[in-house]
Each structure stands twice: as structure tokens, then as C-alpha cells.
Amino acid sequence: MKYLLLYSLLTFFLFAEVNVGDKAPNFTLKTLDGKQIHTMQEFKGKVVLLNLWASWCKGCKKEMPEFITLQKQNTKDFKLVAVSLDDSKDKASHFLSTLKQKIPFTVLHDSKKHLAKAYSCSAMPSSYLIDKNGVIQQILIGSLNHNDIKVLQEKINALKKKEKR
């Protein structure tokens, strides 16, 4: 009986999915340059768009300029956090340099893909809209285009207006 309970718990944690309404899993990751460490906890009180991407992902490259604009238009109570799942920091840095724009959001690196596992990332890119209380409000699978960003902006605005609990 004891082994069955242990097996059930392990299975739950290995195959648990995050869903809308769940508390966003915490993380502790370094920036690409390795100079800073960030956690999900430090963004509490802000609306967060957590984006998981990789340099080999064509959809990631398409949506990155949209994310630059989104962050520039939302300087208050919003933070875009882009997490590279590349094995190499160099690949991720090169990818960002091809955009030829200054990146106005936080870029972190997770070569071990712990965050992808914690968030049950099923495809690249994947984004998670998280409210001020750290609760996942929307899961966006695949590349976002200009029209998707417009709709997302409306949701961000609504979440920014909601009171923090």
C-alpha cells in the first residue's frame, strides 16, 4: 500500500499539467549574461507574460518583434519574461542579436528545461499570461501575430485594472 501511494504521488508530480486558474510555478533562473537571478515571486503585483522560446524555433523569431512592442507599450504593472530553453546561452544571444532591436524585457536562460517541465510546455513557443496574484489566466501555444497581440493587450489591460488580492 505504501508503494502504491508513493507511485501515485510520483506519477502526479511527473505528469501534472498547469491549467488556467493554477498558481504559476515558481522559478529561479539567471539572465543570459549570468549577472542577475530572477524568480517568479519578484514579479508578484504585476501582470506577467511568461514566454518559453528557443533559437531554433521559427515561430519564436516571428513573435519576438511583437513582444518588443508589447513591452514598450506596457511599462507600468506589466512584465514580459522570455525564457530561452536553448542548450547554449550563445545560441540564444545570437538569436536575439538578429532582431536588431534593444530587448526591453527580461530574458532568462533554462538549459535544463526545468521551467518547460514545470509549466507542461507542449510546443514552442508557449506563453503564459499570469495575473498580479501569480495565477495563470491564459495559456497561449504557438506563435502570436499582430492580431493575437491586440487581443492579448486587451486581456493585459483588464488584468492590470483588477485589484491585487
What's the CATH number where 128 sits?
3.40.30.10
Which residue is catalytic, options 32, 52, 60, 159? 60
| Separation between Cα atoms, residue 108 and residue 34, nearest integer Å | 9
14 lies in some domain: no
9 lies in some domain: no
pLDDT score of 4: 38
pLDDT score of 10: 40
pLDDT per residue as tens digits for the range 49-59: 999 999 999 99
**Structural domain range at position 74:** 21-161
User: What is the arithmetic mean of pLDDT over 71-89?
Assistant: 96
pLDDT range class, residue 100, cuts 50, 70, 90: confident
Q: Which cell is 23 given?
A: 498558481
pLDDT at residue 163 is higher than 90: no
2 lies in some domain: no
Residue 36 or 11, more confident: 36
Q: Which cell is 29 given?
A: 533562473
The total domain count for the chain is 1
pLDDT per residue as tens digits for the range 114-153: 999 999 998 999 999 999 999 999 999 999 999 999 999 9
108 lies in some domain: yes
Tell me whether residue 121 is one of the annotated catalytic residues: no
5 lies in some domain: no
User: What is the arithmetic mean of pLDDT over 96-107?
Assistant: 94
Q: Which residues contact 27 (CB under 8 A, 6 or more apart)?
A: 39, 40, 83, 108, 110, 114, 115, 118
- What is the secondary structure of 56-102 as a DSSP string? T-HHHHHHHHHHHHHHHH--SSEEEEEEE--S-HHHHHHHHHTT-S-
